[in-house]
Amino acid sequence: MLLSKITNILGFGGDIADDREIGWLLTDSRSLTFPAESLFFALVTNRNNGHQYVQELYNQGLRAFVISEVHPEFETLHDALFLLVDDTLMALQQIVAAHRREFSVPIIGITGSNGKTIVKEWLFQLMQEDCKIVRSPRSYNSQIGVPLSVWQLKSDTQLGIFEAGISMPGEMANLEHVIHPTIGIFTNIGDAHQENFVSQQQKITEKLKLFTHVEILIYNADNPHVDAEIKQADFKAELLSWGHQPECYLQILKIKKSATRTELSISRQNVHFTFCIPFSDDASVENALHCITCLLYKGYDEREINKRLSQLESVAMRLEVKQGVQDCLIINDSYNADLNALNIALDFLSQQAISKKLSKTIILSDILQSGFQPDLLYQKVVELVLARNCNKFIGIGEEIGKHAAAFSAIESYFFSTTEAFLNDPVSIGFRQEAILLKGSRKFGFEQISHKLELIAHETVLEVNLNALVDNLNYFRSKLHRETKIMSMVKAFAYGSGSVEIAKTLQHHRVDYLAVAVADEGAELRRAGIRIPIVVMNPEKSAFDVLFENNLEPEIYSFNLLNSFIEAAGKLALTDYPIHIKIDTGMHRLGFDATEIDNLIELLKSKNQVKVRSVFSHLAGADDQRFDDFTRQQISVLNTCENKFTKSFSHRILKHILNSAGIERFSDYQFDMVRLGIGHYGVSTLPEVQLRQVCALKTIVLQLKKVKAGETVGYNRNGVATEDKLIAMLPIGYADGYDRKLGNGLGEVFVKGKRAKVFGNVSMDLIAVDVTGMDVQEGDSVEIFGDHITITEIAEKLNTIPYEILTGVSRRVKRVYFSE
């Protein structure tokens, strides 16, 4: 779209001196690749302000900005175009809504609590050979993600498929204006984001606003709440419901499941169909029925639908990071290959490579259905790759190989097929590289991933970085815009892996990190963490480590303070930042309130240190029995901090709230809060559904048929009262699985059901009772995660979630992914 047209859409008249095509709408300053073709929207959120990045982007060549604030430094940017609006997010949506109206092609809009991305991707798989499809990248379904998705519509697009998600009332009307779907699919309704809606009925009503102007609406009529709300809404659209009731557009007559497939017997207007899908779980059946309904409406016959259903693949909705051979890091993003998805993945590659000091390699397949002519497409790829300073490029496919000359500025190799690459010495020559795998499905890049991954213990701790950020943003929503966040990453980031967690938190602009000991902070510095790091338990023997890595100590006693001042003095340091801990009633570490006057007198007489913050710890913020004591602690901190404020001219931060405190005592957030266990999905409020960040998973190692009267395991405690099928899992107390969970107390989640631990927990193995379940060797098993939460396990063991998370052994591989 021409820049002049964009200005007209926003209500600005006049000519543009340097009119040009805008191909990229930029909302994140870190993702700039094509300055001349980009328009930056300075979004303002409760935690960040895009206007502070305008100067940086200008220095990188960007010249077009949509702003809602005028900063003094903008006056010096003489050749920049500033479009001043009331709301930059609304401007973004307004521009893309106008772009959407230029296309008369069918647009499928998908919403619901779960399944949006699966249905979108399956529809793409099922119809991609018939038409050119544009779809949302990954789960781009937010107020920002939707316009960035719809902006991809091009002149040769024949079908658009976009998902829309909301977290509170009033949001869907904006997304409907942008997507303006002609076909609607309502996947289902669940508990996600329920905390912002007064009832499930209200949430359904809000989501249905996406379908205000659709011609066709597809939904599951077996959900009575959804069915009732849709019928009450009196849509003008044709309702294509599916379910067991005879009045449904598609009536389900029978569902027959086996281990790996499901057979669906369906009737439409007294015509019977049989469809088979290569999945057997309930969620996949529901998602497939949405797709089948859509394909029948679009005129596909039973035979063709079955042919395509048989080729359906599970959707890898996450970007995985795994350790590779020869000190490499493997970033597996074989989800789809297009320019937008490539741009997103390259950002992630850069973050990982820089923090681990690895060279950057990308393995990319042919890009299909891009909407660009091949010459222009691969020139864009070259620009993206060079902009991220990649060191090596490997192209796989006939088409990309034709454009090998365009990649002459980088070490590059080209192969016609994945098999040709795997048989070439290049495939075993990787050393200390961060390797991004980005390929269209038909190229089978999982073969490359399997070859390059470091084979390790089958038990892994999966860490969902998107869930971490979602939880961070939930707590941010409780805070004033100016309130800072100190994220606690001590104890190996509560067992989840401090470096990856710290990198993610830094990327999402927390203000401080906190570790327990100096060595933890030094590890983060070596990994490229630049933001301030506080060491909560500084040891005198580690002062040198503090100074070398610019780590800021917690100071809790005169003894420690005097020693630190002496050490700083020997290095001729001045104004070294420290954080003063006040004991307000917890009676662990900290200065007593009676010592504050003497402490201030000492600090004023020394120039080696400078107080950065004054803080304390709450003893029982998560327990309403101690609310009076909590307020008493806060009062003591206020009294002490006031003395500091009156005694020093510089700003001193004050903080006392932890995760529970943020939720229950947000009036006392002061200058900063400390967020710990809340990052990982633990809330003190039962109505709040935070996302589980960590999932401990293993596999079924072996199945054993045990006859009645026989026993399993040490001490023969697992006694079979009847013939049983026992699954052996490679996890034990050496991995952090508590021995007390043996003999039926503990449960695991496998093939959609819970199974009890059978007999004792040993060092490396547990047995679980899977009698009557369709379980196979190699099946994935959840120890804790979405279905069995760490809070549930903690309650069984009469302990706290902290202990469960931090107890996961270091020998358990951490696997990080982004959805």
Predicted local distance difference test score (pLDDT) of residue 337: 64
What type of residue is 676?
A: G
Q: Could you tell me which CATH number the domain at 3-91 has? A: 3.40.1390.10
Please tell me the distance from the alpha carbon of residue 30 to that of residue 508, in angstroms, as a whole number. Answer: 11
**E strand or H helix at 599, and its extent?**
helix 596-604
Residues of the chain with CATH 3.40.1190.10: 103-309
Q: Which of 478, 714, 756, 796 is catalytic?
A: 714
Dist CA 380 CA 386 (whole Å): 10
Annotated catalytic residue within 380, 392, 484, 490: 490
CA–CA separation, 710 vs 112, rounded Å? 49
Query: Catalytic site residue 714?
Result: yes
Rounded to whole angstroms, how far apart are CA atoms 726 and 79?
72
Q: What tokens appear for 636 in the block?
A: 């003591």
Q: Where in the chain is the domain with CATH 3.20.20.10?
A: 462-680
Which part of the chain has CATH 3.90.190.20? 319-454
* Strands of the sheet with 766-769, listed across from one edge: 702-706, 724-729, 766-769
The CATH number of 694-818, from 2.40.37.10, 3.40.50.300, 2.40.70.10, 3.20.20.70, is: 2.40.37.10
CA 418 to chain CA centroid, Å, is 29
Interatomic CA distance for residues 99 and 108, integer angstroms: 16
Q: How many CA atoms lie within 13 A of 87 on its CB side?
A: 7
CA–CA distances in Å: residue 241 to residues 184, 292, 339, 505, 622: 11, 11, 36, 43, 46
User: What are the residues facing 21 on neighbouring strands?
Assistant: 2
Interatomic CA distance for residues 718 and 743, integer angstroms: 7
Q: Which long-range contacts (CB under 8 A, 24 or more apart) does 629-636 make?
A: 629/585, 630/661, 630/665, 631/665, 632/584, 632/585, 633/584, 633/585, 633/586, 634/584, 634/665, 634/668, 636/582, 636/584, 636/585, 636/593
Q: Which 8-state DSSP code applies to residue 550? A: T
Please give the angle made by the CA atoms of 541, 542 and 544, to the nearest 5 degrees.
110
- Residue 490: active-site member: yes
Classified by CATH at the fold level, domain 462-680 comes out as TIM Barrel (3.20.20)
| Tokens read off for 672 | 């900063």
- Rounded CA-CA distance 358/391 in Å is 10
∠65-66-71 over CA atoms, to 5°?
A: 80
How far apart CA 719 and CA 434 sit, in angstroms, is 49
Amino acid at 9: I
Nearest-angstrom CA–CA distance, 731 and 700: 10
Q: What is the DSSP letter of 193?
A: T
581 three-class SS: strand
Report the DSSP beta bridge partners of residue 464: 817
pTM reported for the whole predicted model: 0.67
Q: How far apart are CA 334 and CA 19, in angstroms?
A: 38
Whole-number CA gyration radius for the chain: 29
How far out from the chain centre does Cα 243 lie? Answer: 33
Helix axes 627-647, 596-604, angle to 10 degrees: 30
Residues 6 or more apart from 301 whose CB is under 8 A from it?
none
Q: What is the mean pLDDT of each run of 10 residues along the chain (819 residues)?
A: 94 83 92 91 90 95 96 92 96 98 96 91 93 87 94 94 92 96 93 75 93 96 92 89 94 88 92 92 91 95 94 73 86 73 84 84 87 87 92 95 94 94 87 91 85 77 90 93 93 74 91 94 89 94 94 96 95 95 94 96 95 96 94 97 95 96 96 94 85 92 94 92 95 95 96 94 96 91 94 94 89 80
Residues 6+ apart with CB under 8 A from 566: none
Written as six digits, the tokens of 436 are: 């991004």
Indicate the angle between helix axes 172-179 and 88-100, nearest 10 degrees.
30
**Do 123 and 177 meet the contact criterion of CB atoms below 8 Å apart?**
no
Q: Which long-range contacts (CB under 8 A, 24 or more apart) does 655-660 make?
A: 655/484, 655/486, 655/613, 655/615, 656/584, 656/615, 656/616, 656/617, 656/618, 657/618, 657/621, 658/617, 658/618, 658/621, 659/475, 659/683, 659/684, 660/618, 660/621, 660/622, 660/684
Give yes or no for a contact between 608 and 569, defined as CB atoms under 8 angstroms apart: yes
Fold of 103-309: UDP-N-acetylmuramoyl-L-alanine:D-glutamate ligase (3.40.1190)
Q: How high is the pLDDT of residue 639? A: 96
Give the Cα separation of 333 and 362 in Å (integer): 11
Question: Was domain 319-454 assigned CATH 3.90.190.20?
Answer: yes
CATH 2.40.37.10 intervals, the chain: 694-818
With H, G, I as helix, E, B as strand and everything else as coil, classify residue 359: strand
DSSP 139-177: T--STTHHHHHHTT--TT--EEEEE---SSTT-HHHHHH
